[in-house]
Amino acid sequence: MQLDQFSYDNKIVRNFAYATILWGIVGMTVGLLVALQLVFPALNFNLPYTTFGRIRPLHTNAVIFAFVGNGIFTGVYYSLQRLLKTRMWSDTLSRLNFWGWQFIIVCAAISLLMGFTTGKEYAELEWPIDILITLVWVVFGWNLFATILVRRERHLYVGVWFYIATFVTVAMLHVVNSFELPVSFMKSYSWYAGVQDALVQWWYGHNAVAFFLTTPYLGLMYYFVPKAANRPVYSYRLSIIHFWALIFLYIWAGPHHLLYSALPDWAQSLGTVFSVMLIAPSWGGMINGLLTLRGAWDKVRESVVLKFMVVAITAYGMSTFEGPMLSLKNVNAIAHFTDWVVAHVHVGALGWNGFLTFGMLYWLYPKLFKTQLYSTRLANVHFWLGTLGIVFYAVPMYWSGFTQSLMWKEFTEDGMLRYPNFLETVTQLMPMYALRALGGTIYLAGVVIMAYNLVKTAKQGAAVEDEAAEAPALVKAYQPHQNEHWHRWIERRPVQMLVLSLVVVAIGGVFELVPTFLIKSNIPTISSVKPYTPLELQGRDIYIREGCYNCHSQLVRPFRSETERYGEYSKAGEYVYDHPFQWGSKRTGPDLMRLGGKYPDSWHYNHMDDPTTMSPGSIMPAYPWLIDNTLDVAGTPAKIAAMRTLGVPYPNGYENKSIADLNQQAKAISNRLAKEKIEVDSDKEIVALIAYLQRLGTDIKGSKTAQK
Amino acid sequence: MKFIHYLERISGISVYPMISLLLFFAFFSFLLWYAWSAPKRLMDYGADLPNSDENV
């Protein structure tokens, strides 16, 4: 048989591997800073660029899209070539993918620190970067598909199915969730509002976990675990069921992030049921990964690569058990908005994504540099540091989550809240936050040791940039065997696979999203809910810019413990003008839904200048620049016009009047402040923010508390 | 295009979750049959693909 001579592109794999390590260290260091800021608020440095609200999105974006993103590309570019017995279709596209992705990461880091954000979690990047991401993702998909089409192995391995589903679903999620109307360069408003925005966002957010942190890594698991163990995958049948059931079910589960919220009840129940069912394919995958090692468990003692992979798969199993549990409404009532969710996420991120990446890198480096690992001992040290780091991270966060929730919900015998001051429930957690930072430090130390070990490995070896290979060419005119199983109809046809994957994931999306968009009865309108005034709108943009949603929710759930603390529970109709919604997902500080009218303007002024003057012991950063910064009033008409385009009922031509209205309201606030002996010009950002904060939740509060 | 309430109301929204569940049930039943009816030869071939590359 004629053998084709060709070579694998190892250079691109090596570049992505280096980027994975670099961004891993950067992203985790930023994470450590975020953790320390909660213990030592001075680490916010009183600078806009380094406050928690901007640094936390930087951490999440860096570890998800920079660390794991590059990890995905490393593994895909290595395994795809070998599974298809062909070189990547185009070296130029590979390079474009690499440099484009790194460019996006740098743009993201700079823009997030500068306060450019859409205010939607894990999708914070502004519209020009969204477009860049789309372009680079298309380059990746193009290269992926072109390579598949020129392959020398007819059968598409299950790992490749996971890559295909990842490509197509991430593309769909990114495009749908990023529908936004640009107002200016680096500023846009979400196309959707309130409840709809929340539903789309968590459909995206949940499935970003599914199709960015899970499916590509499952593809990597299906390649690298059999490779490292030198055994076939335990059950190929199970992997087929795993794949199709997982991608079908995952897409429906998004609403479990919105339980007890203003989202219609039927959508919440739908999310819960599908989340519970999701445990089956997830555990099917975990079992398939672990049982691949059947009869080879002795190797786990010897091989540090397998150690990392076994813990990774176990962590996957734990977090995919916990996920469905958290989706039960009774469990969610306790866990939501607390550190429990932070613990859950990090078992997945540190355990599953982190450890699988490390295992893959320890296996890859000696192959890429034709040498032995520099130090197995150091790799073992890394393994134990990493494992300890996860324990020291997760246990305090679970503890903290339970403590928080119990304190929020505790009543005295007289029926009053036991801890009416929210701050008490925060200061109580300080030891846990300190321990969590310790866990993060240990984990990061392990990663630094890995970087040293791998760099030394690379130095002692010689990089093989183009690895020679040979394989028989694929016969073009393929004659199927008689009685050939029709499995091959799909498993040998990548385009069908792509289309079918898209159909499978689209079904869930359509069923979940469409009714809420079409039906008025799902979002009851409330006549007293009015659009924001121009000044409030500007204040809201400052609220979004400073990332307040990272610590404060705007969603009072219908529990007595919440209505007692915050006031009337949230109604869907209250959010109809919120582009984007700002419900938040974590309460490091109290809910702000009913903040309007609760405190005088001077309280907000002093609190933003230095929170500890109003709340001694507060860990909230200070925002002194809001007092000095002059509000960019000139952009107001464009913002009003954009909001009207999105359906907010500002009268035609109102934009021309908007600046005058803005100035008038600002003047009134600065006059009120002057009466309380605070002299501030009415054109400062703090005035706009106060206007917004005083408006929050007042539409249905009635005139008594709306304006003091 | 404005994504706000096109229809006034729809009756029986609960049919959506029910259709969803039936859809999945049908899909999953088909999937089980599909996987279990596959010939062993093909499954073994697939399972062995990562290690069939002698170059590494």
Distance CA A286, CA A264 (A): 33
Q: A221 to each of A162, A225, A304, A322, A364, how far by Cα in Å? A: 10, 5, 16, 21, 14
Hey, are the CB atoms on A515 and B10 less than 8 Å from each other? yes
Residue A702 CB partners (closer than 8 Å, separation 6+): none
What single DSSP character describes residue A183? E
Hey, are the CB atoms on B50 and A252 less than 8 Å from each other? no
**Mean pLDDT throughout B38-56?**
81
- From chain B, pick out residues whose CB is under 8 angstroms from the CB of A240: 31, 34-35, 38
Predicted confidence at residue A706, as pLDDT, reads: 37
Phi-psi region of A402 (alpha: psi -120 to 50; beta: other; left: phi over 0): alpha
Predicted confidence at residue B21, as pLDDT, reads: 82
Distance CA A235, CA A288 (A): 6
Show the DSSP H helices in A40-90 as ranges: 52-61, 69-83
Predicted confidence at residue A526, as pLDDT, reads: 82
Residue A189: helix, strand or coil by DSSP?
Answer: strand
Q: A461 to each of A13, A275, A317, A362, how far by Cα in Å? A: 16, 47, 36, 14
A157, B49 Cβ separation under 8 angstroms: yes
- Cβ of residue A278 closer than 8 Å to a chain B Cβ: no
Predicted confidence at residue A504, as pLDDT, reads: 87
Hey, are the CB atoms on A521 and B10 less than 8 Å from each other? yes
Helix, strand, coil % (nearest 5) of chain B? 60, 0, 40
- Label the pairing between strands A180-184 and A187-190: antiparallel
Q: pTM of this prediction? A: 0.94
Predicted confidence at residue B7, as pLDDT, reads: 42
User: CA of A603 to nearest chain B CA: how many angstroms apart?
Assistant: 37
Residue A523: helix, strand or coil by DSSP?
Answer: coil
Q: Identity (one letter) of the amino acid at A557? A: R
pLDDT tens-place string over residues A361-393: 999 999 999 999 999 999 999 999 999 999 999
Residue A21 CB partners (closer than 8 Å, separation 6+): A361, A447, A450, A451, A454
Hey, are the CB atoms on B17 and A231 less than 8 Å from each other? no
- From chain A, pick out residues whose CB is under 8 angstroms from the CB of B9: 519-521
Distance CA A534, CA A642 (A): 12
Q: Is the pLDDT of residue B50 over 90?
A: yes
Mutate to test the interface with A, among B22, B29, B49 (most CBs of A within 10 A): B49
Predicted confidence at residue A482, as pLDDT, reads: 53
Q: Consecutive sets of 10 residues in chain A, 708 residues long: mean pLDDT of each?
A: 91 98 98 98 96 98 98 98 96 98 98 97 97 98 96 92 96 94 96 91 93 97 96 94 94 91 84 93 96 92 96 97 96 96 97 98 97 98 98 98 97 96 96 98 98 98 93 74 60 82 86 71 73 98 98 97 95 92 96 96 97 96 97 96 94 96 97 96 97 94 45
Hey, are the CB atoms on B6 and A518 less than 8 Å from each other? yes
Q: Which residues share a beta bridge with A182?
A: A188
Other beta carbons within 10 angstroms of residue A380's beta carbon come to 12
Predicted confidence at residue A701, as pLDDT, reads: 72
Tell me whether 0.90 is exceeded by the ipTM: no
Distance CA A340, CA A326 (A): 9
Distance CA A647, CA A576 (A): 9
Predicted confidence at residue B54, as pLDDT, reads: 53
Question: Pick the residue with more confidence: B4 or A659?
Answer: A659
User: CA of B11 to nearest chain A CA: how many angstroms apart?
Assistant: 9
